[in-house]
Amino acid sequence: MRILTALLVAILASAPALAQAPLKIGLSAPLTGPDAAFGQGLRLGAEQAVADLNRSGGRKIALVVADDAGDPKQAVAIARKFAAEGVSLAIGPFASSVAALALPAYEEAGIVMVAPGATWSPLSARGAWNLFRLAPSDAQQAAFAGAYIAERYGTRRIGIVHDRTTFGRGLADEVSRTLKARGRREVLFESLVRGSKDASDLAARLKRAAVEVVYFGGLAPEAALLINAMREAGLDAPMVGSDGILDKDFAPAAGPGAEGTVMTMEPEPRRLPEVRGAKTIPRTPEADAVAARSYAAVELLAQGAARARSTQGTKVAAALREGGPIRTLVGDLSFDQAGDTRYPDLVLRTWRRTADGRIDYLGSENGP
């Protein structure tokens, strides 16, 4: 009897995947609006992943695409639409602000939400059961920067400046915490309000404190303003910042003082594999920046459902958190209890003078 039972189980397990209903995966992306270039990249990556996985055999996947236009209200409505259509696994929304406001709707609907681009640290702070973040959070990036500063600059005097935004202050606070955990403390913790036109007073305070390296939490315009003011004050301290200063206008605005500025950021994005005979899709820098991660999100959800042997959101979420790493196009992915990636992929880039005299971000230094 046991032999017959085992044989029956084996037969059922090997039944054609076509006997199963397709696995529905939702995509909420800004296909219109100011972030449309990123949204189209998310769609490109997800569609290619679905096509590749469907060709490889196994359970078929159906992608349910919705345009949230980068608007939180539309994103919440899409979460409810997905629930009504039996979608329990979803990718998006893209922007941190949209993802944060839509997350409770996904949680209430029992839908797993894979956020491909949201970096705002508090998004995962309350430990929502259904959230999985693919991009390194701002806190993870700042901790990486703090560790780099502590090791690279030893006992030198450290100044920390932020632009008073949630983004900039969050980075600065996390750098400070990381330094303290490593037995270091900044000698000055200051701010430069976003939109400022003069940083001379702040530069003078940094110079009086004999600061030897500055961490800046904020965006390129204020970072450039501060570098100019520091150099005019005779302060040669290098600056370390985040990818918030990754802007083509940073070096022209900062002038010669931009040379040597270090940024923490993700490595160059992986490109999607070329598919012979596929329709031609415009490969914009924005699309290339997110397409591979969207491809990986489909792989993650498909393997999570297979591991859980279920499409129920809570079971898939448990399988993603409690199982081992899942291999994807962007590498092996695993998550902590908050839903953040366990091993964020981060590098250091330095603005240097090129052969033609420009200052551009080049090369990669070893991280901490």
Q: Which CATH architecture does the domain made up of 14-136+272-333 adopt? A: 3-Layer(aba) Sandwich (3.40)
pLDDT band at 289 (very low <50, low <70, confident <90, very high): confident
* pLDDT > 70? residue 80: yes
In this prediction, what percent of the chain has a pLDDT beyond 70? Answer: 90
- Report the distance separating Cα 120 and Cα 242, nearest Å: 13
Q: Which CATH class is domain 139-265+346-365?
A: alpha beta
* pLDDT > 60? residue 13: no
In the chain, residues under CATH classification 3.40.50.2300 are 14-136+272-333, 139-265+346-365
Strands (E), the chain: 23-29, 61-67, 89-91, 112-115, 131-133, 158-162, 188-191, 213-217, 239-241, 262-265, 326-328, 331-333, 347-353, 359-365
Quick one: which of 184, 172, 249, 256 has its CA closest to 214?
A: 172
State residue 59 phi and psi, 5-degree precision. Answer: -65, 135
pLDDT band at 15 (very low <50, low <70, confident <90, very high): very low
What local confidence, expressed as pLDDT, does residue 176 receive?
Answer: 97
What mean pLDDT is predicted for residues 344-360? 87
Distances (CA, A) of 149 to 225, 264, 266: 22, 11, 18
In this prediction, what percent of the chain has a pLDDT beyond 90? Answer: 77
pLDDT band at 271 (very low <50, low <70, confident <90, very high): confident
What local confidence, expressed as pLDDT, does residue 368 receive?
Answer: 59
What local confidence, expressed as pLDDT, does residue 281 receive?
Answer: 52
pLDDT tens readout for residues 83-101: 999 999 999 999 999 999 9
pLDDT tens readout for residues 163-185: 999 899 999 999 999 999 999 99
* pLDDT > 50? residue 311: yes
* pLDDT > 60? residue 212: yes
pLDDT band at 366 (very low <50, low <70, confident <90, very high): low
CA torsion angle for 189, 165, 365, 336 (degrees, to 10)?
110
Q: Mean pLDDT, the chain, as a whole number?
A: 89
Quick one: which of 219, 227, 235 has its CA closest to 253?
A: 227
**Poorest-confidence range of 4-13, 138-147, 291-300?**
4-13
What mean pLDDT is predicted for residues 113-142? 94
* pLDDT > 90? residue 16: no
Q: What is the largest CA-CA distance in the chain?
A: 88
What local confidence, expressed as pLDDT, does residue 262 receive?
Answer: 95
* pLDDT > 90? residue 12: no
